Structure 1
Amino acid sequence: KHRNFSAGKWSCWATLPGNAKIKGDPAAVVSDNGNRIDVFAQGIDNRLKKLTWIAGQQWYDWADLGTYTITSSPAVTMRYDTGFDVFARNAANKIVYRHFSIASGWVNDWAAIGDNWSTVTATSAPAAVASADGTRMNVFTSAPDGSLLTLMWTSSAGWYNWADRGLAITGRPAATTRAGTSVDLLLRHYDSSLIQWYSPDGADFTTYKPQDFGGYIVTSPTAVTWGNQRMDVFSRNSNGDLIQKFWTATNSWTPYIGLGPIGAPAC
């Protein structure tokens, strides 16, 4: 299902085209100029799928992106509007990565990431975020004990080590950036409340402490930013309804806003 927010209001829900059967949570990335949307998902055959929308051409059909087995929903980031960095968990419970070029297709084979990757076991799907200038990426997952794990890549040094941040979470993290190399993490706490954790550079997770917004969410959150002026977070409540909470630079955080059942109203 797809729904868009424009001119201050939501469209109705629409079913995307194609016959691919998917599971889990799809991940989407939008080009900086707004002329392209790519949606990535885990198929029921545990292969990576991609669906593309191009302005003036509407939606294409789902494409199968190889035979590699993934065991989680993917995460995806875009750098320079030239390609995508795709992350997933593999059958060995390692977070793996591959770069997809819009011009030429896959650039590298799937590979586990982090200098200490062999010692890390991932129990959730990954989340990922890239800086706008393409010089830094951050990847997040959870450990077997539920603790948040973080990993950083820089264009000058490559992949660092996975770090355990000691915060117990449930499900998949969400990550976004408002500006520069900053990172906003949105997390479902072990008690199902919503937590935000801000890092000014994607490496420092000590200066700012996690902020607990309370409430009760039953799915992992997802988040999106509008530059450095607005950030929106979405999840579902105990009734299964889609809920939203957003931050603006002038008014800080709103209360939770109910958006009704997913799929209603339908187009």
Structure 2
Amino acid sequence: MLRRAARRAAGVVLFLLAPALWAQAPEAGTGSCWTPLQARVPTPPVVSVRPGGQRDVFLRTARNGLVHRVLDARRGTLQAPEPLGGAFLSEAAAVSWPDGRIDVFARHASNTLWHRQFEPGSARWLPWKGLGGLLTSGPAVTSSASGRMDVFVRGAGNALWHLQYEPGGGQWLPWKPLGGLLTSEPAAVSWGEGRIDVFGRGIENGLWQLTFDADHGGWGRWQAREGVLTAGPTVSSWGPGRLDVFTPGADNTLWHLPFEERLGGWQPWRALGGAGEARPVAVSPAPGRIELWARGADARLRRCELEAPLPVPPENSRPWEEISPVPR
């Protein structure tokens, strides 16, 4: 079980964390909150959401190449896989732009960072390009301003390394070390222009956070958060002042740590039910909404949609649902 320190946020009532809101129906005979799925995937999914709502799913294959699949929201199915090639040692990281552009990053077999871009104008993928570095984990990517991308990896000495793309010059800046001592891949998110939050599992399996705030001098110092992690964290944000961190626990339970600036900051850890063997991926398609994607212990793809405006009745939580492949 994920352990928690004794410190709690006193006197705070947060409806979106009520157990009834997040409860899921158990799978018959297992005690798990996950529902059996039809679609099997070889590796954990990576998901990005385009402005129009399209979900782009990226999967590393059994031969370590990358494939792209689109979720058909109307039918609730995954379209046929589009091979993207490559030879990778990690799951990918992806970010989408307002014009429909997608940028995908992964740790190549050479332990360097590789990048591939989808151009919406020509509706085609550009060739893979190497961006250097010396990676010891998969990457994380976020965007804190129009046209800007920030990629984070665990590098030499298990420190965090940062690679930034500046839209003004249209070029990548040199790699920069950001310190820390990570025992997992990083997770990164931006809740608005000039703000980035990076999380990772650190020494003694604790949760650590590093924040960039353009209004307060840039990068701050590493901060320890409550909890002892059994895997790397994932994070999403559905608006300014909001962070949602997720991690699986040793008891096969998914744990959630929310940050709400309006309520004074970090709230207590809460259990959300079964999580499968792999950590989920969290994305936010709209304010007050979170989607969790994961590969279950049975290798099947799963998705959960959570609605979390304040206040919200329990019946507004959507159950775990099946994602079926397109029949061939």
Q: Fold-level match, TM-score > 0.5? A: yes
TM-score normalized by the length of structure 1: 0.84
The aligned residue for residue 194 of structure 2 is: 181
Which residue of the other structure, out of 21, 29, 35, is the alignment partner of 2:48? 29
Equivalent position SS for 1:167: coil
Q: Deviations over 1:116-143 (max 9, x none)?
A: x2xx31010000002352x210001111
What's the counterpart of residue 62 of structure 2? 44
Structure 2 residue 167 is the aligned partner of structure 1 residue 155: yes
Paired residue total:
251
- Higher RCO (Cα < 8 Å, 6 or more apart): 2
- The two structures, once aligned, show a CA RMSD in angstroms of 2.6
How far has the Cα of 1:215 moved from its partner? 1.4
- Quick one: distance in 2 between partners of 1:89 and 1:16? 29
- Partners of 2:74 and 2:272 lie apart in 1 by 29
- Matched residue, 2:180: 167
| CA-CA distance at 1:238 after TM superposition | 2.5
Distance 1:180 1:165 in 2: 20
Q: Does 1:193 align with 2:206?
A: yes
Structure 2 CA distance for partners of 1:198 and 1:104, relative to 1, 3 Å: same
Other-structure match for 2:96: 78
Q: Distance in 1 between matches of 2:116 and 2:73?
A: 26
More helix by share: 2
Cα 1:199/1:11, change in 2 over 3 Å: same
Q: For 2:102, what is the secondary structure of its paired residue?
A: strand
The TM-score normalised by the length of structure 2 is 0.69
Structure 2 partner of 1:209: 221
Task: Please state how far the C-alpha of 1:181 moved relative to its aligned partner.
Answer: 3.1
Asked whether the equivalents of residues 77 and 84 of structure 1 are also in contact (C-alpha less than 8 Å), the reply is yes
Change (3 A) 1:249 1:84: same
**Cα 1:181/1:188, change in 2 over 3 Å:** same
1:112 aligns with 2:125: no
Larger Rg belongs to = 2
Q: Secondary structure at the match of 2:203?
A: coil
* Residue 188 of structure 1: how far off its partner (Å): 0.9
Q: More strand by proportion, 1 or 2?
A: 1
Identity of aligned pairs, percent? 26
